[in-house]
Amino acid sequence: MGKMRVPLGVVGMIYESRPNVTLEAASLALKSGNAIILRGGSEAFESNQAIAKCIIKGLSQTDLSEHSVQVLQTTDRAAVGELITMTEYVDVIVPRGGKGLIERISNDARVPVIKHLDGNCHTFIDSDADPEIAIKVSVNAKTHRYGTCNTMETLLIDSSIAKDLLPKIATAIIEADDAMQLRVDESAESILADVITLNGHLSAATSEDWDTEYLAPILAVKVVDGIDEAIEHINTHGSHHTDVIITDNYTKSQRFIREVDSASVMINASSRFADGFEYGLGAEIGISTDKIHARGPVGLEGLTSQKWIVYGHGEVRA
């Protein structure tokens, strides 16, 4: 008796912009034994069609069906509405794009969906953090790229070290990108207000800032009273995508990874590592913040399910 991995079946993928997704998704589907129906955005329609022709040509030279990968030849949104309700023919939908697209798919789909809505990622600087690591990770997590779901959007820092360390972190982030704007709470503002290099970069945070995925050179900053408040803030305002603690305290690091309810939780590393390629999965078809079936970067294994296998010799149940 045991288990074996099996394909999900037919994957429907709806995505925006990047035509490289067409090839990556098709490759993952074929490698995992699935068929896939792809519907890219109108802005890359011609590129997607050209890539589709290459894929079909390649399939024609194998034992696989040319219909294993299908790229819809229309940009009509009605086609998406039809695809996500075809429960008899499609086994799972993977939307990849902006929050508006994913919300629409999630609300209207009758087919199961693997998704994440947004990436409101946090970095918490604990009282036992190594200052150099805190600065290096914070700069990378925020300024490496802005348009990605694993970019830090909120920086939390323990009040016991904020007076000394927060100005250094904030200055380093501004030096990395002079366009950066910091949305700060009252405690952070009182610490940073007299830092000359931050003139013109500070504004008061509103309640909306704690829930916002900026995808821009904007960072929310909050001073918290220890790990309890940090975990509560993350679980209340985060998107369950990727959250980070910077600490040299093993006990607190283990508590953080147990209690923060996110698909990826990291210790002393940039949230930008939350990526299928960086995790050694190769290409990814997307990232899931759901708890059932797949969570985190979805690679080959996430495109499979499992079945129980029993080998018998005529056994019957008493």
Roughly how many angstroms between the first and final C-alpha of the chain, as a whole number?
Answer: 18
pLDDT along the chain (318 residues), means of 10: 96 91 95 96 94 95 94 92 96 91 93 91 98 98 96 98 98 97 98 94 97 97 98 97 98 98 97 94 88 90 95 94
| H/E run at residue 160 | helix 159-176
Characterize 51-67 residue by residue with b for buried, 16 or more Cβ atoms within 10 angstroms of its Cβ, and e for exposed. bbeebbeebeeeeeeee
Please, what sign has the CA dihedral across residues 32, 101, 143, 204? Answer: negative
Under DSSP, is residue 68 helix (H, G, I), strand (E, B) or coil? helix
pLDDT for position 317: 93
* CA distance readout (Å), 258 to 119, 120, 231, 243, 265: 20, 19, 10, 12, 9
As given in the structure block, the two tokens for residue 17 are 């912009």
pTM of the predicted model, to two decimals? Answer: 0.89
Distance CA 306, CA 151 (A): 33
pLDDT for position 281: 87
| H/E run at residue 28 | helix 20-31
pLDDT for position 269: 98
Q: What domains are there in the chain, each with its CATH number?
A: 2-114+285-309 (3.40.605.10), 121-273 (3.40.309.10)
Do β-strands 2-7 and 304-309 pair in parallel, antiparallel, or remain unpaired? antiparallel
pLDDT for position 82: 95
pLDDT for position 26: 96
pLDDT for position 229: 98
* Residue 260 near residue 234 (C-beta atoms within 8 A): yes
pLDDT for position 116: 85
pLDDT for position 208: 97
Q: From 285, 278, 273, 274, select the one nearest 23 (Cα to Cα).
A: 285
pLDDT for position 244: 98
